Structure 1
Amino acid sequence: MVIHSAAIADEFSLRLTFVLFVSVVVVTLFTALLTAPQRDEISEFYLGNRDMTPLRNGLAMCGAYLSAATLLGSTGRVALNGYDGLMYLGGTVVAWMMVLLVIAEPLRNSGKYTLGDTLALRLPHGQRQVRLALSLCTLAVCLLYLVAQLVGSIALLTQFIGDPSGATRTMCVVVIGSMVVVYAAIGGMPGATFLQVVKAVMLVAGVAVTAVMVLHHFSWNIDDLLSSAADNSALGGRFLEPGLQYGGTTTNKLDFFSLQLAIVLGLAALPHVMMRLLAPRTTRVARGSVVWAMGLVGFVCLMAGVLGLGATAIVGRESIAEVDPRGDATVLLLSHKLGGAVLEALLSSLAFITLLAVAAGLTLAAAASLAHDLYGEVIRKGKAKQTEELGVARLAAVVIGVMGMMLALLSWGSSTATLAFLAFAIAASAILPTIVYSLFWRGFTARGALLSLYGGLLCSVLLVVFSPIISSQPSSVYPDADFAWFPLQNPGIVSIPAGFLLGWLGSLAGGRTEPTTPDDTFEEFEVRALVGTDQR
């Protein structure tokens, strides 16, 4: 979300945004401290209050998943690319079907605190090596996504004050990052849940009100909205036809398919989303939570599509591109036109809160994996006391937050979308195959899990390193170099099948040299995954 133009907000809007943002932060921080775990129990820190209703947990899932990229970036994609932008939003909605139909119930039934507990139950032979590999993949996914949020906070600030100085960038990242650490390290899951619920309610209300204003502007006539968007796009009917961004060459079409594949499959393996799936006490609540989350995410994406088309129709595609070639300023430009500085400030503060909520969930998920899987089970071999593991979890949250801040400052100028999409690709290529095979394939072994985790991670990273994202194009990290032999910007179309293939081959090869899961062990796991237990 790098803005290459001058600030678009006036001084009043900036002050009002600051006041609103600080007000929400003070309230949520105070509440996070009040709701923080009062006992030295890891279950309370990792899972929080497990008596939540499906609606509340669904709101928390929605708040944990929807990032500022949905409010700013996705709306901008629709405003600049029309039909192709709408198809991108559609992939986000379809992704939740994967969670609901395949992952949610068996993962909740067989898990405890982290995905590592599920794998340890399923793969008792070599569980320590599998937990280690899973912790590294979880850390990679969470750090990439966390850095994307922190870089996005700088870009959002840029929309108000223009290109910030180095000191201003540092201050912005440190302030946002420190708040994230407090939410995760002190508040744990209860604190993160409250922030995510507040953010989800604000996001749903904010996009709904703005979308109503857009529809009212066109007298609730969808045909007028579409025709005005086409007329003001300077592209005519092409704006509402496929291929504007991902059309033309075969490479562009494959890139779009690869991106959608990573989004649809990656969501089911994002660590902070999986952590929320483990929080409900009963299967019924877990199922209802995912249904609510799917409906809320679908509603927000639908409203984002309306906002994108409305921005093109009211502001104009060329005007948006002139202010911000990436389109991330679309919502603020539209809100300024519709409601002046007040609406602009409301949506701007909402974007900052969105960054905080997603970043807190990511930090907590990574800290839980490092403390429970890496320290508690690999290093201490399950002998760590609860107070000891809880202290490590809080320390890990601080370390991850500091690492995120440092990487965000080093990554200034990088595309937040690229960082986020790489995180999705790693999750879909490394973690998802391990989950699917563990839940549904009797012959899956620890060696297959290791090959799937390490292979999917390395394949995703290497393909991005040798892609146009890093070199060979003016927008690349190193535009003057040219070592991009992989033509696509998202590696999912290659790395995801590679992750599944490596898990399959590793399991077949491992069957001759390591014990496979005994039939009775797998059957016991299968019963638990399908039936579960309501008290853990």
Structure 2
Amino acid sequence: MVTLSAGIADEHSLQLTFVLFLSVVVITLFTALLTAPQRDEISEFYLGNRAMSPLRNGLAMCGDYVSAATLLGSTGLVALTGYDGLMYLGGTTVAWMMVLLLIAEPLHRTGRFTLGDTVALRLPRRQRSVRLALAVCTLAVATLYLVAQLVGSVALLTQFTGEPSAATRTLCVVVIGTVVIMYASLGGMPGATVIQIIKAVMLVAGVTVTAGWVLHRFDWNPDALLAAAADGSGLGAGFLEPGLRYGGSTVSKLDFFSLELAIVLGLAALPHVLMRLLAPRRTDVLRSSVVWALGLVGVICLAAGVLGLGATALVGRDAIETTDHKGDAAVLLLAHALGGGILTALLTCLAFVTLLAVAAGLTLAAASSLAHDLYGEVIRKGRASETEELTVARLSGAVIGVLGMLLALVAWGTNTATLAFLAFAIAASSILPTIVYTLFWRRFTALGALLSLYGGLACSVLLVLFSPVVSGTPVSFYPDTDVAWFPLQNPGIVSIPAGFLLGWLGTVLSRRQDRDAQEEFEVRALVGARE
């Protein structure tokens, strides 16, 4: 990858970024340790302070969801592809409507600590086998998304130093991964919430101010910004029309639809988002929290669109693509054009903090599922003490963090956004069908849950292995090999319907069971009474 220009990669910017990042890490880590659970109670470790206001809960949800792929990847996509990039940002906002209207309230009423508790209430006879399947899928999704964040830290470092040495990559991943483990394993949900709120406030403020700065350069005239972006793209009016990335062929159109389907449906099945939905004590607080999260994510996506257009207008599409063909450098190039080394350092620090926050939430969600569902309910069959389960949760956080570091070092050259969206597709293909059927289909059985979980996971992973993501193109993981018989980069358009179909098939092939449990579950879903 080509490095940024000498003005951006100067020693002053790098030093200032390091000082700012270190300061934020020290402050947030100290605050997370202060707010960490003081008692050996799993409810406090898993759910944290359940008396938070809707605004603080909404900030935490926003912080859990918005990753560096939004700040860097989405901005770069807009800068390079114009209209197609803006359409992609729209799907990110719509995804929260899916959560608000379909999943949030019934899941909150029937859940306890994890999604496994909801399924166990609905399918008590075979709950252990279903909990095991949920733990496997949760671990797969969370680990893949965690690897995307750690790979993103190396990609971000690359923007300053060029392609780093093996020692530099290892040091970057280990430092970021260790901090993530400390947030998740020591701070639990209270500690993770602290960094999510701080990150969300910094992110909303940072992108809003920078987007305002861009608009100010064009006298607050959006038409002038669009015209300048079209000129800077070198493509004229075609930059503001569909087709630059996803409209050139039928395959690219299907790929775009598959990606949007995975984003819109996958959010409702991401483990760290589901865990956050269980945190508020009251349903009305949850509803307001999701509305706040929807609004905050919408503001960030709108600002990302302005930043992408501003980067094309002020820096030029050719300069962005020459620096980084994926466009991840667009926001940093824009920051340098607007505010020099200081603004570049501020946005780089913000990107690193964004990586930390999302990674901490993912690690905590995976550790909670392993400790509560796998260890507490499957291995110990509900007989584990709270102290024992809490110890396993902390150890699980460390194990998952180390696993993520190792995989990130192997996959460090992979596109960050691609890894993140594959995690969305896997979640939507395996976990989402189980959620929807559990909440809304009275006939649903344990066999249907197992087939949708394992089958959706296997289908999505298999399609990815034989897709251009792994082989067949210059930017594939194995560019010299070509076994890509599946033409799309995102498997969602096939694997998501397959997950739902397998859940239906498993149900109709098995005998209906647990009628009393179903009636109790329906009452719980309507009126709540979780505790």
Q: Same fold (TM over 0.5)?
A: yes
Residue number among 521, 526, 530 corresponding to 1:525 in the alignment: 521
Q: How many Å separate the matches in 2 of 1:166 and 1:471? A: 23
Whether contact under 8 Å (1:4, 1:325) holds in the other structure is no
Q: How many Å separate the matches in 1 of 2:514 and 2:98? A: 26
Q: Which residue number corresponds to residue 73 of structure 2?
A: 73
Q: Which residue number corresponds to residue 19 of structure 2?
A: 19
Whether contact under 8 Å (1:35, 1:190) holds in the other structure is yes
Whether contact under 8 Å (1:443, 1:517) holds in the other structure is no
Q: How many Å separate the matches in 1 of 2:98 and 2:443? A: 23
What secondary structure sits across from 1:40 in the alignment? coil
Q: How many Å separate the matches in 2 of 1:382 and 1:472? A: 48
Instruction: Confirm or deny that 1:297 pairs with 2:288.
Output: no
Q: Which residue number corresponds to residue 406 of structure 2?
A: 406
Instruction: Confirm or deny that 1:247 pairs with 2:247.
Output: yes
Q: How many Å separate the matches in 2 of 1:449 and 1:384? A: 25
The residue type paired with residue 29 of structure 1 is L
The residue type paired with residue 409 of structure 1 is L
Shift of 1:531: 1.8
Whether contact under 8 Å (1:442, 1:517) holds in the other structure is no
Q: Which residue number corresponds to residue 426 of structure 1?
A: 426
What secondary structure sits across from 1:460 in the alignment? helix
Q: Which residue number corresponds to residue 160 of structure 2?
A: 160
The residue type paired with residue 439 of structure 1 is L
Q: Which residue number corresponds to residue 258 of structure 2?
A: 258
Q: Which residue number corresponds to residue 323 of structure 2?
A: 323
| Change beyond 3 A, Cα 1:355–1:11 | same
| Change beyond 3 A, Cα 1:297–1:145 | same
Shift of 1:528: 1.0
Cα deviation digits, residues 324-345 of structure 1 (max 9, x gap)? 1110001110011111111111
What secondary structure sits across from 2:233 in the alignment? coil
Shift of 1:482: 1.7
In structure 1, the gaps of 5 or more residues are none
Whether contact under 8 Å (2:3, 2:161) holds in the other structure is no
Shift of 1:4: 3.8
1:86-235 residue pairs with structure 2 within 5 A? Answer: 86-235=86-235
Q: Which residue number corresponds to residue 491 of structure 2?
A: 491
Whether contact under 8 Å (2:123, 2:445) holds in the other structure is yes
The residue type paired with residue 256 of structure 1 is F
Q: How many Å separate the matches in 2 of 1:247 and 1:58? A: 35
Q: Which residue number corresponds to residue 336 of structure 1?
A: 336
The residue type paired with residue 517 of structure 1 is D
Q: How many Å separate the matches in 2 of 1:284 and 1:6? A: 48
Q: Which residue number corresponds to residue 5 of structure 1?
A: 3
Q: How many Å separate the matches in 2 of 1:480 and 1:350? A: 36
Q: How many Å separate the matches in 2 of 1:44 and 1:79? A: 43
Q: How many Å separate the matches in 2 of 1:28 and 1:474? A: 40
The residue type paired with residue 34 of structure 2 is L
What secondary structure sits across from 2:509 in the alignment? helix
Shift of 1:371: 0.1
Q: Which residue number corresponds to residue 441 of structure 1?
A: 441
Shift of 1:236: 0.4
Whether contact under 8 Å (2:123, 2:517) holds in the other structure is no
The residue type paired with residue 509 of structure 1 is L
The residue type paired with residue 73 of structure 1 is G
Q: Which residue number corresponds to residue 313 of structure 1?
A: 313
Whether contact under 8 Å (2:2, 2:322) holds in the other structure is no
Q: How many Å separate the matches in 1 of 2:378 and 2:108? A: 23
What secondary structure sits across from 1:481 in the alignment? coil
Instruction: Confirm or deny that 1:510 pairs with 2:510.
Output: yes
Q: How many Å separate the matches in 1 of 2:385 and 2:33? A: 24
Instruction: Confirm or deny that 1:365 pairs with 2:361.
Output: no
Q: How many Å separate the matches in 1 of 2:201 and 2:55? A: 11
Q: How many Å separate the matches in 1 of 2:100 and 2:111? A: 16
Shift of 1:319: 0.8
What secondary structure sits across from 1:268 in the alignment? helix
Q: How many Å separate the matches in 2 of 1:468 and 1:341? A: 37
What secondary structure sits across from 2:163 in the alignment? coil
Shift of 1:475: 1.5
Instruction: Confirm or deny that 1:347 pairs with 2:343.
Output: no
Whether contact under 8 Å (1:233, 1:318) holds in the other structure is yes
Cα deviation digits, residues 455-486 of structure 1 (max 9, x gap)? 00000000000111111212112222221111
Cα deviation digits, residues 486-536 of structure 1 (max 9, x gap)? 11110000000000000000001012xxx5231x32122112112212x62
Whether contact under 8 Å (1:214, 1:307) holds in the other structure is yes
Shift of 1:416: 1.3
Shift of 1:273: 0.3
Q: Which residue number corresponds to residue 416 of structure 2?
A: 416
| Change beyond 3 A, Cα 1:5–1:210 | same
Q: How many Å separate the matches in 2 of 1:480 and 1:157? A: 26
Q: How many Å separate the matches in 2 of 1:250 and 1:308? A: 26
When the two structures are superposed, what TM-score results if normalisation uses the length of structure 1?
0.98
Q: How many Å separate the matches in 2 of 1:198 and 1:354? A: 10
Shift of 1:6: 4.7
Q: How many Å separate the matches in 2 of 1:522 and 1:199? A: 41
Cα deviation digits, residues 1-59 of structure 1 (max 9, x gap)? xx443564211111111111111100001011110100000000000000011000000
Q: How many Å separate the matches in 2 of 1:331 and 1:226? A: 17
Q: How many Å separate the matches in 2 of 1:482 and 1:329? A: 29
What secondary structure sits across from 1:483 in the alignment? coil
Q: Which residue number corresponds to residue 278 of structure 1?
A: 278
| Mean CA deviation greater in 520-529 or 126-135 | 520-529
Q: How many Å separate the matches in 2 of 1:77 and 1:103? A: 30
Q: How many Å separate the matches in 2 of 1:397 and 1:24? A: 22
- Please tell me the root mean square deviation across aligned C-alpha atoms, in Å: 0.9
Q: How many Å separate the matches in 2 of 1:474 and 1:339? A: 35
Q: How many Å separate the matches in 1 of 2:208 and 2:473? A: 38
Cα deviation digits, residues 135-188 of structure 1 (max 9, x gap)? 000000000000000010011011111111110100000000000000000000
Q: How many Å separate the matches in 1 of 2:43 and 2:441? A: 29
